[in-house]
Chains A and B, each alone.
Chain A
Amino acid sequence: MLDTSVPLLNIRAVSQTYQKGSGEPGLPVLDNISLSICEGEIIGLLGRSGCGKSTLLRIVSGLNRPSKGEVDYLGALVDGPADGVAMVFQSFALFPWLTVLENVEIGLRAKKVAEDESRRRALEAIDLIGLDGFESAYPKELSGGMRQRVGFARALVVHPNILLMDEPFSALDVLTAETLRTDLLDLWVEGRMPIKSILMVTHNIEEAVLMCDRIVVLSSNPGRIAAEIKVDMAHPRNRLDPEFRQLVDHIYALMTKRDDSARREGAFPGLGLGMSLPIVSTNTLAGMMEEVAGEPYNGKADLPALAESLQMEIDDLFPVAETLQLLRFAELVEGDIKLTQAGRRFADSDVDVRKRLFGDHLLAYVPLAQRIRRVLDERPSHHAPATRFREELEDYMSEDYAEATLRSVTTWGRYGELFAYDESSQSFSLENPQ
C-alpha cells in the first residue's frame, strides 16, 4: 500500500446553493464541507439521495463550481476539469456511436496524444479491466457490467491520480455489481491500476464498508459531514465478519439519527407547509407496516436486516420508514424501526378502516394535506386549482421538489379519501367521481 499521509486534493469549506427558477439563491445543498484526499486510500461519500454527494463529486472533478469555498489539487486551484482526475459515471455515459476501443481512446485523442501511443495505452487499459476481445464491439452489444468496465477503462487510460466514481455499481444487478467490485478491489490491492486514490459516491452502506478505507457520512438538507469513519479491516473483507456487521449497524444508526429531537418531522427538509416529501406509494407504506408487524419482527425491526430481506437499498427504504415516522405509524430509533399503536392497528385492519386511519393521520400530521383540505372546506365551490398549492410550495423549495411533494400528498389524500383530484382540470375537489 502507498503512503497515506500526502494530501493529493483538499476540499476547503465548500458550500453550494441551488438557484431557484427566479435566479435568486435557493436552499443550500452543501454546507461547509472540508475534506482531504490522500494517496493510497479509497474514500466513500455515503449519503442518501438529495444529500449533495454527487454535487460534491462534480465540484471535486471541476465540472461544477462551488458557491463558496475552494478545491485545490496538487496545490493548484481547481477551476475546471483537471488533468489527473477522471470520473466513472453511474449511467456509464459511453458514446453509443463509438466502439469500445474508440470510447477508451477518445479522452487521449482529444488531448492530441499521438495515434499509436493512445492505441497502445487504450489496449493496455482494456486488457487490465478484462475487456479484451470486445475492442470492436459497440456499447449497445454489451451487458451492463461490460459497459461499466468500458467506463473504468476510459477513466484509467488517462492515468489519473484520483479516480472519481459516481455510484458506479448502482445501475447494475446484484451479482454483476459484486463481481465488478471484487475485480476492482483486487486490482487496487495489487497496485495494478495507474491511480493513487479513489473517491467514490455511494448510497449503499455495505458497499462503502466493503471497499473504503474512510467513510464520510453526509447528512441531508443541507449536506454536511455527519461523521468520518476509518475502516481498518484488511482486504478482502468478509460481509459476514461480526466486525463488518457491527460497522454496518453503526452506520445505519448514524444515518437514521435525528439531529434535532425537537423536530419530530426531522427526517424531511423544511418545516410545516414547506416540508419536502418523497414520492412513496401507499401500497409500499402498507406493505412495510405489514412486514414489520408480522413474523419475525413483531413490531420492531432492525433496518439493515429489513433492507436485506426486502432487497431494498437505503434510498428506497429510508423514505418509506421516514414517511411512516412522519405519519406516526412508526418510530425510528438507533437503526431500528418500531411500529406505533396506530401502525399496529393499521396492519391488522381491513381496507376501509385502514383508509380512514390513514386519512386521519395524514390530516393530523402533514401540514400540506391540512392546508388543501381547509381551502376546499372554506370555498363554497369546494374546488381549488393545484397551481395554487404548487406556487405556494415553490416559495420554500425548487420546482421539482414542489412537484414531487404535491404529487405525494395528492396520492396519499386520494387514498385517505380526504379529497379528490381531477387530472384534466388539475384541480382538487371534495366530490368523488360518480
Chain B
Amino acid sequence: MAVRSVASPALAGRQLPNQWDVIALCLVFGLLALIVQGSRGMTAPLAAPVTADLSLNYSNLPYYALRTTLRMFAAILCSLAFTFSYATIAAKSRRAELVLIPLLDVLQSVPVLGFLSFTVTFFLGLFPGSTLGAECAAIFAIFTSQAWNMAFSFYQSLRTVPRDLEEVARSFGFSGWQKFWQLETPFAMPGLIWNTMMSMSGGWFFVVASEAISVGDTTIKLPGVGSYLALAIEQKRIDCVAAAVVTMAVVILAYDQIIFRPLVAFSDKFRVELTAAQTEAHSFVRDLFLRTRWLRQTSRAPARLFHRVALWRLEPPARVERLASNIRLSSRLFDIAWYVIVVAGAGYSLYLVYDFVSRDLGLIDVSEAVGVTFITMARVLTLIALASLFWVPVSVWIGLRPAIAEKLQPLAQFLAAFPANVLFPVAVVLILKLSLNPDIWLSLLIVFGTQWYIVFNVIAGATAFPNDLKEVAANFQIGGWDWWRKVILPGIFPYYVTGALTASGGSWNAAIVAEYVKWGDDTVSAHGIGAYIAKATAAGDFPRIVLGVCVMSVCVIMFNRLLWRPLFGFAERRLRLS
C-alpha cells in the first residue's frame, strides 16, 4: 500500500480561531442542545430496550461480521453523498464557504462518541418500536467519524484544480455538470479514495462502540461484532473476546484486499503528474478482474451509462441564469444579509446551549468539566510523547531498511485500522487482576489504537528519505545524537506531524471509551473528561453530556490550533524535502 502523507487542508494558514470559527462552534453546539432537548421528550416511550437476540455462539460470528460490514458500507455511502454535496457547495459558493468550512473544522474536532447518546435517542424517536432507529443511530455515528476529512479532501481538490485544465474545460464550453464529472471529480479522485480509506480505518472503532450502547435505562444491541463483544464483556467470556478479535482482523484484511487495494490502484490513473509513478500500486484482485472476460463485459454497460450521464449538459434554463446574474448585482446587500442571518443563528445557538445547560448545572460543574478536561489533555499529550519516544526510533530503523519496511508497513496500517476497543477487555482484566492504578494504566488504552498512525507515517517518511542525504551522512561520518538531531529527525518531521496529529485526534475520541471500561459488573474508571462523558451517558444525564462535549470540543480545537497547526506550518515551510 502506498502511503502518501495526507493532511487536513485546513492545517495550512489559519491558526487562532477567527470570528467564523466561533460562529461555527456556536452553531454546532446549538444544534446539539436542540437535538437533546427534542429527544428528551422522547426518552419516555423508549423504556422497552431494543435488543436483538444475541448469542455468544462462535458460529454466529460470520453473520455478525456481515452485519457490521454492511453498516460500515451504508455509512461510507452516506459520507460520499455528504462529501459530494457539502464540499461542492462550499467550493462553489463564497458565502456558503465562509460558514461551511469552519463548521467542518469544528465538527472534525468534536468527539463523535460524545454525540452517541443523543443521536441514539433521536433516531429511536424517529422510528419508534423498530430497530431501524437503532441502525440509523449506529450508521450515523460511523458517518460522523468518516465524513469530515473526506469532505475536506474533496473541497481542497475542487479548489486546486489546475488552471490550464480548467481553461480547457471552459474553452470547450463544458457545462457545470460536465465539468464536475469530467474534470473536478476525476481530479479529486486520488485524494478522496485515500481519505475514504483512512475514514474506513477509523470507522471500525466507532462501529464497535456504537452497536451496543446504554443511555440511562435504554439499552440497544444490534447484531454485530460490537454487540457480540459487549455481551462477552457482560458475561466475562474472554474466549469470546478473542473470537471477536480474530473476526475483526479477518474482516479488515478482507476489506483491504477486496475493496481498497483495487481502488487505490485504480485511482493512480487520475494522478495529474504526467510522469509515470515510480511505485505503481498493485492489487491482485484488480489484476484478476482485468483478466476475466465475462465480468468485464458485465461492467461495461454501467460504465457506458455513467459516461453518458457525465456528458449531460444539464444547464439551468436561461430564466434561472438571468435571475442568478440579477442576484449577483446586489451582492453587497446579500453579503450583509447573509452575515446578519449567520450571526443571529450563532447567537441563538449560544443562547440555547446556555439555557439548556444552566437549567441544571452551575459554574461549579463547568469548572469541574474544565478541570477533568485538562487531566485528559495531560494524558493525551504524555502518551503521544511516550509513544513517539518509543516508536519514532523503531519506525526510523524499519523505514531505513526497505525490505523490512515493505513487510511491516501494511501491518502498521492494519493495526491502525484495527478497533482497539475490541482489545480493551483484556487490559481491564489485567488491571483488575494486578490491581493497577487505573489513572495510569487506563491511559495506555488511549494511544493503544492510535499510535500506529505515528508508526506508519514515520516509516513512510524514513523510506522516502533521500538516498543522497543518507550517503552524505555516512560520508562525513555523522553519527550518534548528531545524526538524529540534524539528519533524520528533520527529514521525517513532516510525516511525524501528520501521524501525531491523526493519533492525537483519535486519542481524544478513544478517551471517552478508554477512561471508563467494564468487565462484567466491575467498572474501572480514570479521572478525565472521557470518563465524565461516559458516566453521564450511562446515567442518561443530558446536561452533563452537553457540557462535557462542549468543553472537550473547545479544548480539542484549541489544542489543534495552538499546537499542531504551528508545527505543521513549520514542517511545511522549512522541512519539506522536495
A109–B169 Cα distance when bound, in Å, is 12
A396 adjacent to chain B (CB < 8 Å): no
B183 adjacent to chain A (CB < 8 Å): yes
* Minimum C-beta distance from B555 to chain A (A): 29
With A93-B165, A158-B172 already in contact, 12 other A-B pairs whose C-beta atoms are closer than 8 Å: A58-B167, A63-B167, A83-B173, A87-B171, A91-B164, A93-B164, A95-B186, A96-B272, A97-B186, A109-B311, A141-B276, A147-B274
Q: Is the CB of A81 within 8 A of B182?
A: no
Contacts of B270 in A (CB 8 A): 96-97
* Minimum C-beta distance from A64 to chain B (A): 10
Contacts of A147 in B (CB 8 A): 274
B178 adjacent to chain A (CB < 8 Å): yes
* Interface flags, B375-418, vs A, CB<8A=1, else 0: 00000000000000000000000000000000000000000000
Q: Is the CB of A112 within 8 A of B171?
A: no
A112–B313 Cα distance when bound, in Å, is 8
A52 adjacent to chain B (CB < 8 Å): no
A58–B168 Cα distance when bound, in Å, is 11
A107 adjacent to chain B (CB < 8 Å): yes
Given contacts A61-B171, A62-B171, contact A95 B311 (CB under 8 A): no
B20 adjacent to chain A (CB < 8 Å): no
* Interface flags, A92-136, vs B, CB<8A=1, else 0: 111111000000001101111000000000000000000000000
Given contacts A93-B168, A95-B165, contact A110 B274 (CB under 8 A): no
27 cross-chain CB contacts under 8 A: A58-B167, A61-B171, A63-B171, A83-B173, A87-B167, A87-B171, A89-B164, A90-B164, A91-B164, A92-B274, A93-B162, A93-B164, A93-B165, A93-B167, A96-B272, A96-B274, A97-B189, A106-B172, A106-B182, A107-B172, A110-B172, A110-B173, A110-B174, A110-B175, A111-B172, A112-B313, A140-B274
A344–B270 Cα distance when bound, in Å, is 54
Q: Is the CB of B271 within 8 A of A96?
A: yes
A93–B172 Cα distance when bound, in Å, is 13
Contacts of B172 in A (CB 8 A): 81, 106-107, 110-111, 158
Q: Please, which residue of chain B has its CB at the minimum distance from the CB of A164?
A: B171
Contacts of B165 in A (CB 8 A): 93, 95
| Size class of the contact patch on chain A | 20 to 34
A96–B189 Cα distance when bound, in Å, is 12
B170 adjacent to chain A (CB < 8 Å): yes
Q: Is the CB of B171 within 8 A of A81?
A: yes
Q: Please, which residue of chain B has its CB at the minimum distance from the CB of A109?
A: B311
B574 adjacent to chain A (CB < 8 Å): yes
Contacts of A89 in B (CB 8 A): 164, 167-168
B523 adjacent to chain A (CB < 8 Å): no
* Minimum C-beta distance from B315 to chain A (A): 11
Given contacts A109-B311, A139-B274, contact A63 B186 (CB under 8 A): no
* Chain B residues numbered 153-168 whose CB sits less than 8 Å from any CB in chain A: 162, 164-165, 167-168
Q: Please, which residue of chain B has its CB at the minimum distance from the CB of A154?
A: B168
B322 adjacent to chain A (CB < 8 Å): no
Q: Please, which residue of chain A has its CB at the minimum distance from the CB of B270?
A: A97
A274–B33 Cα distance when bound, in Å, is 56
A37 adjacent to chain B (CB < 8 Å): no
A423–B574 Cα distance when bound, in Å, is 9
Contacts of B183 in A (CB 8 A): 95
A86 adjacent to chain B (CB < 8 Å): yes
* Interface flags, B297-313, vs A, CB<8A=1, else 0: 00000000000000101
Q: Please, which residue of chain B has its CB at the minimum distance from the CB of A90?
A: B164
A389 adjacent to chain B (CB < 8 Å): no
A138 adjacent to chain B (CB < 8 Å): yes
* Chain A residues numbered 67-89 whose CB sits less than 8 Å from any CB in chain B: 81, 83, 85-87, 89
